[in-house]
Amino acid sequence: MSDMASLTAPYRALVVGGTGGIGSAVLRRLRADPRCGEALSLSRRDGFDLLDEGSIAAAAERLGAPGELDLVFDATGALQIDGDKPEKALRQIDPDAMARQFAVNAIGPALLFKHFAPLLPRRRRSLFATLSARVGSIGDNALGGWISYRAAKAALNQIVRTAAVEIRRSRPDAVVAALHPGTVATALSEPFAADRDRLSPEDAAGRLLRVLDALPGQATGRFFAYDGRPIEW
Ligand SMILES: NC(=O)c1ccc[n+]([C@@H]2O[C@H](COP(=O)([O-])OP(=O)(O)OC[C@H]3O[C@@H](n4cnc5c(N)ncnc54)[C@H](OP(=O)(O)O)[C@@H]3O)[C@@H](O)[C@H]2O)c1
């Protein structure tokens, strides 16, 4: 059965960050789905960059008219940027490194909402998901550390919630969600979790798409893990 049975076939999907470990697995899965009419990818390889709003606006312009994207899956994000490792202590906070974390993990996805939400259909179910991380949950934070990444993902979660409230007004059948993919064997987690049990990107992609597909309209604006369980903010 199709992962995305809740979407009207043939559905049109966009994976932002289709070059990443999880993003490429999501893209492969969508392209293998017979009900998927088209699965497009945006990445830095094609001149698209979250740090360049013009490149995001140009991509939205190329992708077509309102009503033409049934699924937007944002699989971008970064834990280490320009070699800056996540902090273990407050004394390691560097304002420039923190600003770069916010630029990629929070402001970038906010710009995706700005430019791609208008392409969702007004009167048909659609899905807009962004990959957050459980460590971005404030309520779940008992360990500390990684303050810039955590804070940028917490900001992303608020952006998802705020976007969902606004999108619901013009697109009552759209579901917007922040997703935690689990610990997944990708380049991002390699330096920190190589010795831990990690999901394969294929497994994570399948689980995330199934969770997303199953979300009812009332679930819009919430945060879910790859096993379908809600995560507290
Ligand atoms: N892996 C895990 O265990 C794990 C756990 C929790 C949450 N997550 C989240 O899941 C998401 C995907 O992670 P991943 O493990 O698949 O990482 P990844 O393999 O490093 O992929 C990251 C993706 O983000 C893109 N990207 C980074 N900076 C960008 C920019 N400035 N403009 C455009 N694209 C940019 C990368 O593009 P390039 O190919 O051009 O570099 C790549 O496609 C991230 O948001 C991460 O925080 C992952």
Type of residue numbered 57 = A
* CA nearest to 39, candidates 69, 6, 2, 13: 13
Pocket test for ligand 1, best of 79, 131, 135 (most atoms within 8 A of CB): 131
Give me the tens of pLDDT residue by residue for the chain, a chain 233 residues long: 578 999 999 999 999 999 999 999 999 999 999 999 999 999 999 999 999 999 999 999 999 888 899 999 999 999 999 999 999 999 999 999 999 999 999 999 999 999 999 999 999 999 999 999 999 999 999 999 999 999 999 999 999 999 999 999 999 999 999 999 999 999 999 999 888 899 999 999 999 999 999 999 999 999 999 999 999 99
Return the half-sphere exposure (C-beta side, CA atoms, 13 A cut-off) of residue 121: 15
Q: DSSP letter at 63?
A: H
- Give the three-state DSSP class for 166: helix
Centre of ligand 1 to C-alpha 76, Å, is 4
Type of residue numbered 154 = A
* CA nearest to 132, candidates 19, 233, 27: 233
Q: For the segment 189-218, what is each residue's pLDDT rounded down to a tens digit?
A: 999 988 889 999 999 999 999 999 999 999
Pocket test for ligand 1, best of 29, 104, 135, 188 (most atoms within 8 A of CB): 188
In this predicted structure, what is the pLDDT of residue 99? 98
Centre of ligand 1 to C-alpha 169, Å, is 30
In this predicted structure, what is the pLDDT of residue 189? 95
In this predicted structure, what is the pLDDT of residue 161? 98
Report the run of H or E that residue 59 belongs to, with start and end.
Answer: helix 53-63
Centre of ligand 1 to C-alpha 186, Å, is 9
In this predicted structure, what is the pLDDT of residue 6? 98
105 CA: nearest ligand 1 atom:
45
In this predicted structure, what is the pLDDT of residue 1? 59
* Sign (positive or negative) of CA dihedral 219, 225, 229, 233: negative
Q: DSSP letter at 19?
A: T
Closest C-alpha to ligand 1, atom 39: 19
Centre of ligand 1 to C-alpha 181, Å, is 11
In terms of C-beta distances under 8 Å and separation of at least 24 residues, what long-range contacts does 54-58 make, across chains too?
Answer: 56/111, 56/112, 56/114, 56/115, 57/115
* CA nearest to 208, candidates 233, 185, 229, 194: 229
